[in-house]
Structure 1
């Protein structure tokens, strides 16, 4: 049984995408092993703005864009050499001169792999382990524009649970927001992300930017 704590509950680890594993010169077996290693407790969270990047060939970009929810043409990805643990994230936005940056922001959430990817101008600028809805409260799949942004939101439904840097996706309250991302937790349908990552995402996204949940 997963433990429900406000709107903040369930997580497993993840390997990135098998297609991306090939780009990183890793075998499928190695990435499956890395997926299991993500069940270990979290290590230090990466806050580096200088993470290594993988620059895709046009053929790789076309292959990736044919997958569900990926941008039309991805130029580069953050290099993540092993599966991230709970609470970990990567963020690198030095390719843009200001938080407003250039290019629209697009977010992809992979529920099966429990990972979020943030793209701007065809470049992945952030990725993190997520929490998502438990079986009784599944996170909806589909494409959702951000309809509201609330920096210091507190839940009116779940015992005043803090939901910092909320990005509202649906009229019935499904949102992306900062959470305490830990093993064994899930949500009532929201997407929980590390609070520091949520702060960075909040700074670059705008109402109307699209989140693809697959």
Structure 2
């Protein structure tokens, strides 16, 4: 005897039809906006080194205080005296650490040019050629009377061949040089000497604006 199934079970439940997927929207091409143009910047003018911008008056000098603490390993002190500049430039290694006004030999007593080792150093010295004239902080370059020493600086060559220095500068320089150290005396501006010899640099390139 067959039992009749309930109508709800006799046939599988009908699966509702799936709605058709909507048609895809047409692709839209989006163009990126061009980048905003950067403003044109004028190149900054190079800074003028303070030491090069302000000339030194007779008797003035500049000295980088950091040089006083520089170790000897940084290199020996090298001095350059430029007759046309009427200045002395002091270097340790490749660094210019001081520049000073000087007064070199007047007409008839020209300061000789060349490379001279420091032959002798005396804090107190008196000339045996010119009326026992005082030559404080003397650093001898030749045995016939040419030396670096403190003296008057009128702003032009006025010595008997020596290189006169401001007193305070001569004292500080005396403390950092050694016998045998090299002093170059040139009849060229320091800029020309620097172009020919890598040991020298143009004046004022690394010096602070302090005036001694």
The aligned length equals 142
- Label 1:89 to 1:95 Cα distance change in 2 as closer, same or farther (>3 A): closer
Match of 2:39 in 1: none
- Which one of the candidate residues 169, 172, 183 is aligned to 2:144? 172
The answer to whether the aligner puts 1:86 opposite 2:61 as a matched pair is no
- Label 1:201 to 1:100 Cα distance change in 2 as closer, same or farther (>3 A): farther
Stretches of structure 1 lacking an aligned partner (at least 5 in a row): 1-23, 27-53, 55-77
Alpha-carbon distance in structure 2 between the residues aligned to 1:113 and 1:161: 26
Match of 1:162 in 2: 134
- Label 1:185 to 1:115 Cα distance change in 2 as closer, same or farther (>3 A): closer
Q: Is the 8 A contact 2:117 2:181 kept in 1?
A: yes
Alpha-carbon distance in structure 1 between the residues aligned to 2:134 and 2:164: 11
Secondary structure at 1:162 match in 2: coil
**1:101-149 C-alpha deviation (Å, 9 max, x unpaired):** 7320000000011010000121111111110111111100000010100
Match of 1:125 in 2: 97
Alpha-carbon distance in structure 2 between the residues aligned to 1:114 and 1:185: 8
Q: Whose Rg is larger?
A: 2
- Label 1:101 to 1:200 Cα distance change in 2 as closer, same or farther (>3 A): farther
- What is the TM-score of this pair, normalised by structure 2? 0.61
Q: Is the 8 A contact 1:148 1:168 kept in 2?
A: yes
- 1:16-95 → structure 2 map (5 Å cutoff): 79-95=51-67
The answer to whether the aligner puts 1:202 opposite 2:171 as a matched pair is no
Match of 2:158 in 1: 186
The answer to whether the aligner puts 1:114 opposite 2:86 as a matched pair is yes
Structure 1 consecutive aligned stretches of length 4 or more whose deviation exceeds 6 Å: none
* 1:184 to partner: Cα distance: 5.4
- What is the TM-score of this pair, normalised by structure 1? 0.61
Secondary structure at 2:125 match in 1: strand
* 1:98 to partner: Cα distance: 5.6
Greater strand fraction, Structure 1 or Structure 2: 1
Match of 1:149 in 2: 121
